[in-house]
Amino acid sequence: MSTPSPTLPGGTWTLGDLTVTRFGYGAMQLAGPRVMGPPADRDGALAVLREAVDLGITHIDTSDAYGPRVTNELIREALHPYPAPLHIVTKVGAARDEQGGWPVARRPEELRRQVQDNLTSLRLDVLDLVNLRLGDAGGPRPGSPAEAFGTLAELRQQGLIRHLGLSNATEEQVTEARGIAPVVCVQNMYNLAHRHDDKLIDQLAADGIAYVPFFPLGGFTPLQSSALSAVAARRETTPMSVALAWLLQRSPNILLIPGTSSTAHLRENIAGAQLALSPEDLAELDGIGR
Ligand SMILES: NC(=O)c1ccc[n+]([C@@H]2O[C@H](COP(=O)([O-])OP(=O)(O)OC[C@H]3O[C@@H](n4cnc5c(N)ncnc54)[C@H](OP(=O)(O)O)[C@@H]3O)[C@@H](O)[C@H]2O)c1
């Protein structure tokens, strides 16, 4: 359940038994172009990670597929040994090919290897939270998650993982996975302009499960909308700030993981997300994704 945080907008949320700030940080875009290879500015990437923790963020989202290995190694270099309040959330279920594609890799032996690779690259004995990435690069796809989620549930039983989540998942897949092991979060694409998961978010909120939107700012294609620009202008802030504040106000189970490679943007996003949107703002924004 969410509680106030003295430092960051949105307060905190408890994932299983892990308390995290609702304002987190997504590390994907710290890798090179198309999430392949090292960053152009390695010191800058390390500085962003350290700044995130210094500002009080206790939730970092990553994957060993980013780079691959690049963002996990940056996180380890910047932050290991990790401060106790910090929780690193990773994901498995996809590999990388030489063209930068994200081929599905969800066979039991592939998942076991990915969990081991994350433990090694992050230098951890136990992963706090592992999301199983379903679907493919085009988004969620129907199909049973039972074999793959069952494999992760076994690794959890063995003590290598504390908590499990799903990514790119349909409502049916969430229901089926919850019959196998507890699901503490769902990470799907969602933002002001992509609201396919509205119903799922409300269902998860009722069950105390977090919803973690990826691409909260539009990802590789920044959010653009005349209504968003109009509200930002009226409130004398940026469209990014309005988009983040809207997500925090949308539902208490929404956790933010906006990505940035800039400490200035990181600070700007935290400050901007404090904005309290008025009923008039919300009504205008509500038209965007409908
Ligand atoms: N589960 C999945 O399949 C999946 C898929 C994609 C992503 N993810 C996760 O979701 C996280 C968030 O997604 P994302 O980082 O791709 O997209 P995002 O958070 O929607 O947007 C990040 C982009 O916004 C820019 N940005 C951030 N703050 C800004 C500001 N104040 N002003 C102007 N530009 C700003 C960043 O550029 P600058 O670097 O210049 O700030 C970056 O290009 C990822 O880091 C990753 O952890 C998960």
Q: What class, spelled out in words, does domain 12-222+243-277 have in CATH?
A: alpha beta
The radius of gyration of the chain from alpha carbons, rounded to an integer in Å, stands at: 18
265 lines ligand 1 (CB under 6 A): yes
pLDDT tens readout for residues 95-150:
999 999 999 999 999 999 999 999 999 999 999 999 999 999 889 999 999 999 99
pTM, two decimals, is 0.97
Centroid of ligand 1 to alpha carbon of 159 (angstroms): 31
Residue 197 CB coordination number (10 Å): 20
pLDDT of residue 194 exceeding 70: yes
> Would you call 66 a catalytic residue per the annotation?
yes
Q: Where are the domains of the chain?
A: 12-222+243-277
Catalytic annotation, pick one of 25, 66, 82, 211: 66
Which among 60, 56, 95 is positioned nearest to 76, based on CA atoms?
Answer: 60
- The CA 89 to ligand 1 mean position distance, Å, reads 16
Question: Which residue among 215, 238, 248, 269 has the greatest number of ligand 1 atoms within 8 angstroms of its CB, and so is best to mutate?
Answer: 215
pLDDT in tens, 32-64: 999 999 999 999 999 999 999 999 999 999 999
Neighbour count for residue 67 (Cβ, 10 Å): 24
How far is the first Cα of the chain from the last one, in angstroms, to the nearest whole number?
Answer: 28
